[in-house]
Chain A
Amino acid sequence: MSAIRAFLCRLSGLFDNQRKDRELAEELESHLQMHIEDNIRSGMTPEQARRDALIKSGGLELAKEACRDRSGLPVVETVVRDLRYAARILRRAPGSTAVCVLSLALGIGATTAIFSVQRALLLAPLPYPEPDRLMVVWQGPPEERSRQPLSSPDYFDYRERNRSFEELGVQTLRWVNLSRDGTPERVWASICTASFLRAVGIEPAAGRLFTDREEAEKERVVLLSYGLWKRRFGGDPSILGRRINVNREVFTVVGVMPAGYHSPRLWRADASPELWAPVQLSRADSERDSHWLAAIGRLKRGVSQQAAEEDIKGIAAALAKQYPNSSARVSAWLLPLKELMVGEVRKSVGFLLAAVGVVLLISCANVASIQFARSNGRQSEVAIRTSLGAGRARVIGQFLTENLLLSGTGGVAGVGLAACGMGALRSMVPATIERASAIQIDGWVLLFSIGVTVATGLLCGLAPALSAARLDINSVLREGQGTLTSGRSRARFQSALVVTQFALALALANGAALMIKSYLNAVSAPVGFDSERVMVASISLEGSGYQGNIPAQAAFWSLLLERVRTIPGVQEAGATTKLPLQGGTNGSYLVEDEKYDPKANRPLIERSWVTPEYFGSMGISLLAGRLFAPGSATEARSEIVVNRAFAQQYWPKGNALGKRIYPNTPKRDWTGEIVGMVEDVPQWSLEIPPLPEVYQSLESTGRATKHLIIRTALPPLTLARAVREAVASIDPEQPVSGIRTMEAVFDRAAARRRFNTVLMEIFAGLALMMVIVGVYGVISCWVAQRAREVGIRMALGAGRRRIARMVVGRGLLISVLGILIGLGGSLALSEIVGSMLYGVSPTNPVAIVGVASLLLLIALLGSALPALRAASVDPVRTLRAG
């Protein structure tokens, strides 16, 4: 206790020194006077009394010094003194100090920003209690870990037979329509089991979760998100028990989830549910091959993922035996929820972090080089300090303090820069990435930046500090200047730094060039549709009257399309159940005389239901045959259109037209006749090549959600209002949502790659800027050191041009060395880089040659100014000065 108290006193003693000193002096003075008075009283002369008192006291100054050490913390005072001195030194050369601080600020700022992304997306725990126990259960063929959802009876079997999960639940995500309490609105809903909510483990902020009983008895109860409660119901305090309209049916609100709660998105990364309602499940075995439920389980304490997976696989194997027709090829596996939510992001964030680390290293090299050059100018200062008794440790300490001050300033500026860039960064993160809004500079990020700053300071300061400490005092003091040989070795060190910079910059810029090329490849690859001037609107026909009522839905859509076509500016209007690049539905078919076989591994075929006008509206060309005729579909028979990939899959050489396909079930209760073939359109992303697809007539599906596609001559979004009015004129309770251009859909698909690419561009740009500074610095130093040599050469008749060539040659030599080393490094890393690329080889010669030429140009630029300076040397003056 008392020791802590004393430490705090001493810490505070660091301030207000002067008052303390004055008090001490006064106290000692009064002590002395009292002593003298006593002495006089005992009979000494005033002279004698004073002498005696001074001798006995043992030295006033010594006492003051001892007290001063005791009243403060001498180490801290040394540091403060060093800091003051360092600040003075740095201020004396504002130009190079500014370059150092700017380099470090950019390096540290970029590192901080990317670390904050890593922290928010990867390192921070998921916002659920004990998130490490949450596992996603996927089904799939035994030999692959594919992410297929569960069927309803399978879920019951897994839930009841497993010994590993405390709770296991399932959900599916659906659009639902809200009406009556305001304008009709379409929101994402998590249709889930009560066990799903319990497995996730978040309690509602108000009310309660729904129960197993309510789920089993199909009660119409619902939980609202905090946002929906505030937005649509004005934060109604009596919301619990209120009846609201969901899909035109009355549901009772039983709870409101906490603000900021995000339901785990297992299935659609872009859906964020605002409503939770019980799912209606069936145990009927006929449902076993209908996979539509995403499952999440909370492991019992102490059960490992592996043990749980074996458990669940065992159950799947038993089911496969029991129900060979539906489950012969169905196994199950576990994926930690965290992996699901961040797995995909991990690689690209790691890549960016590595890139930004390279930027930081380049900036360190700049600072080290500048500081090193500067320390050389201070040899005599160091020599004098050493000869006056400064120990080696003090000299090193002084240099390190100076560099820490520098990196500290850079660090503060860098964190400031990163903080300013946060908004831009957040908005650049693709919306499909979970928790992008959590990116911020929090305590951990700050701690990380401080660590980086200190490490940077030590790294940059080490070389100058050690070389200063090794200084041979005698030779410096005798000669007044560093000798020529030590100058040479200094130049070698600096050149080595710049060579390193070139090598790192080449690797980085090459990576950036490849990323840009990949991005361009991804966005310029033919997509088979024309996104220009196309508007999309999504409409879900839900609730009584529509649900399962195919004729009612068909009537709505044909009326809507009819009315939309009369809107001025509409050139063509069609409808589809799914948009390109947005994923969708797939299944398998039997083609021609293929026989049903539950053990066969049939290829997955994408499935769409469209109106014939869809192809024209979306700009998808018909390659062969014709489109299906309206009204041609019956329950047992439809005309269908396939894409090129489908035709190639089954009839690589022949003709697909006129061929027949059947559902992959024991009974052939439906026949599809291929009447046309259309161009491929990528279904899942820009980078997954188009899969085989079957288009059926929109009239034959009861799927609730359909998209209206309008091709127009006007700016597409100007039609939004007219479209809403057209929908309202048919059904005033029907919401329209997702009004956007097809270009926005496309942009969204490219967002992730664009994010990585833009950041890589920024980093490479920063790196190149720093390399210019680096090469300029080292060549300038080199020229300065050789002023005398240049003078002699000129005096001996060398032309200015020749001198300039010599200097530029030096710059090019350094850059070529660096480029060669960087090439080696790039080749060594090509495999890692390759995994980030699309449609371009990691050793693409065009990129490498381009980047290498760019770096040579930079070397030229950086050495041009010093070359001019060298060429304008006045030989007479330099020779005289030397």
Chain B
Amino acid sequence: MNCKEFNQYITLYIDKELPYKLEGEFKEHLDNCEECKKAYTTLEEVHSKLGKLFTEKEVPIGLETRIINNLPEQKPRFSFKEVFFVKKTLAFLVPILIVGCVSIAAYTSRYGIVLPQKIEKTLYDIPAEVRVKDMAYGYSDDVITDERVIDKEIATIEIKLNGGEKIDHNSPWASTIAEPGTKVYSIKGLNEKEAIALKRDGYWQIFRVMNGIRQSQPIFTEDMLKSEKIVVTYSDNGKSEIKEITDKETIEKVAIAIKNAEKVSEPPSYYGSKYYEYYFVIRDSNGIGKIAHRYYATMQDIDFEGYIRTGGDVYKLGADFNKLITSPFGSIQSAYDEKLGGKKQINEAFIGAKVIFRSLIKEQSSSKSEIALLNEGDNIWQNGRQIKDNLKGKYKLQIIMKDTTVQKQVVEEAARQINKTPDALSINFTEGSTKDTLVIYLCFDTKPEFNSGESDNSFVIEFKK
């Protein structure tokens, strides 16, 4: 075997694809040619590094189950990509349809040709959700905040579509999402060829004719500063929760943060497992709630920036905005933030009407947390020893968290929020019998009523008001 042949066979040899009959010759050349040995070593080293990088290690027990259990129940109704796709599709189809209709009209009027009963159109490519005749309405980002804007019943959905059906100009009212029997309403101030409303699952939804909807909306208007409330729906891996912001000062701060959002040309990479939707409830001069536009925002991390998208525009929000409308789910990303702890850290420490201590402690068979209500004079832990109670308040909730390293900053964060716990006088932290045991005391003068429980590494105490 010469050097040229050897070079041709290096890859085959490394990948164990070299025919057996050539192996002997290959090895012989490898032992006798320094230059070829060097070439071989270079490639073999890369192969070995790649092998190590992708070598399968032992997976922690339960990881696959944890992943499967945490998959979103359903995908977000609109991922941003889908929204862009809809827009692009419409932008492409609408001119074709218009040109097509005009041409057919012109042709038929000139030659008096009778059109066939059914005209097949390509509208079924559009995720239209309510259709009648040759009209297609799509679910809009608008929200009815006041039922008084509903005008009158105009039709009833007759057919449920599964998607993909072709439609013709005689089609009755049909929908991909609303059940037959659902009533269709017109909206005051809007032509029914522009928008309609449906009530589904107790909520009003607006559907707009799909003629280039999802245009960018202004993210800030002056009347936002004086709105009645902001309704925020948080979504995190399939879970969702609605929160209303009614405090005037916070509303104003949120509106100003939005006003200061900076338009960016490059959208961030976004995958949609954690995001929120919000809208401002604003009333007109007669006190009737206006139709609100619902905005979508990413929530990368409460300590970092987020983004609002409307139509094709993207605005970058500062950290202030995310902090003002903090998610009830906290932030996954900040779980390893230095200020929130170390290796076995507390992931979240919220003190409120609902107290949540969540820890990323390793699996263990015994209970990780204990709670007890102590009376005045009972022993308490202090720096690893039990001593007579020296804390103020007649009652103490003693929360023992085992096998966790809690850093000073977490304790401070929890202490900062103590005023949100009903009737609590103070919060104290100390070591238990071992250094990795944290004992928390919530002190009260009146006997607190609460429920507590532990699941998924979370320890939850909910106070009854």
Chains A and B come from one and the same complex: no
Which residues on A are within 8 Å of B, measured CB to CB? none
Which residues on B are within 8 Å of A, measured CB to CB? none
